């Protein structure tokens, strides 16, 4: 499959909130059944089957992998990571710039909602941490390895953050880890209410 075709398939999926939520779940959990997905998404399995079918047909997810458990079979789906690994960051950015305003709005909205789902899952994992995991969390906080930050800044400072993000993006591109389990999210959003824009 050509890179341009992959980009179009991914953009089509990302514009759909349910599809992007499923992709986000599979990034976080690696493999899930439709029943497990339905719990996270607070919907029924029957509502998800067509979406899963579309994602399978486009090649974005793989499966199902059948696992026999006593008297029943569980079918697991995974993300087709090879499809994402062929994307070039610069080509991806250029393609996103070609989106019309309505598509851009839908993409940002879908992305933010998918990340809120991921944050809810992470919050649940922290809440359910046993004593050993709670101690580990304390150690990670003490060492500064858990980064929690939120704030509002001027347009000038926001511009500097955008520049720093470019450096982080380059670092991630140079040392891509396929087996990483650590999570990060970087979300920056200029104010849409004041009408100001950052150059």
One digit per residue, the tens of pLDDT, for the chain of length 199 reads 788 888 889 999 999 999 999 999 998 888 999 999 998 888 888 889 999 999 999 999 998 898 888 888 899 999 998 888 777 778 888 888 888 999 988 888 988 888 898 888 888 888 888 999 999 999 999 998 988 888 899 989 999 998 998 888 888 777 766 667 778 888 888 877 554 444 4
- Res 198: pLDDT: 45
Residues in the chain: 199
Cα–Cα distance, 158 to 30 (Å, whole number)? 34
Question: For the chain, what are the domain ranges?
Answer: 3-128
CB 44 within 8 A of CB 38: yes
CATH number of the domain located at residue range(s) 3-128 in this protein: 1.10.10.10
Please report how many Cα atoms fall inside a 13 Å half-sphere around the Cα of residue 60, on the Cβ side. Answer: 24
What stretches of the chain adopt beta strand conformation (E)?
31-32, 61-69, 72-79
The pTM assigned to this predicted structure is: 0.78
**CA-to-CA separations, 136 to 120, 130, 132, 144, 164, in angstroms, rounded:** 20, 10, 6, 12, 30
- Res 54: pLDDT: 95
Across the beta sheet with 31-32, the strand order is 31-32, 72-79, 61-69
- Res 199: pLDDT: 43
- Res 178: pLDDT: 65
Tell me the β-bridge partners of 51.
Answer: none
């Amino acid at each position: 499959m050509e890179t341009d075709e992959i980009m179009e398939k991914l953009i089509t999926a990302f514009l759909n909130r349910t599809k992007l939520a499923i992709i986000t779940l599979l990034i976080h959990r690696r493999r899930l059944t439709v029943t497990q997905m339905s719990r996270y998404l607070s919907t029924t399995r029957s509502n998800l089957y067509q979406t899963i079918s579309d994602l399978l047909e486009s090649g974005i997810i793989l499966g199902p992998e059948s696992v026999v458990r006593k008297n029943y079979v569980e079918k697991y789906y995974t993300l087709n990571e090879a499809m994402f690994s062929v994307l070039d960051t610069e080509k991806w950015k250029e393609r996103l710039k070609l989106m019309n305003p309505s598509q851009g709005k839908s993409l940002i909205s879908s992305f933010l909602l998918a990340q809120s789902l991921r944050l809810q899952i992470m919050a649940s994992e922290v809440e359910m941490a046993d004593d050993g995991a709670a101690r580990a969390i304390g150690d990670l906080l003490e060492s500064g390895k858990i980064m929690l930050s939120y704030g509002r800044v001027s347009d000038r400072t926001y511009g500097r953050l955008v520049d720093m993000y470019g450096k982080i993006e380059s670092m991630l591109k140079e040392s891509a880890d396929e087996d990483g389990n650590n999570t990060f999210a970087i979300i920056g959003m200029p104010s849409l209410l004041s009408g100001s824009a950052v150059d």
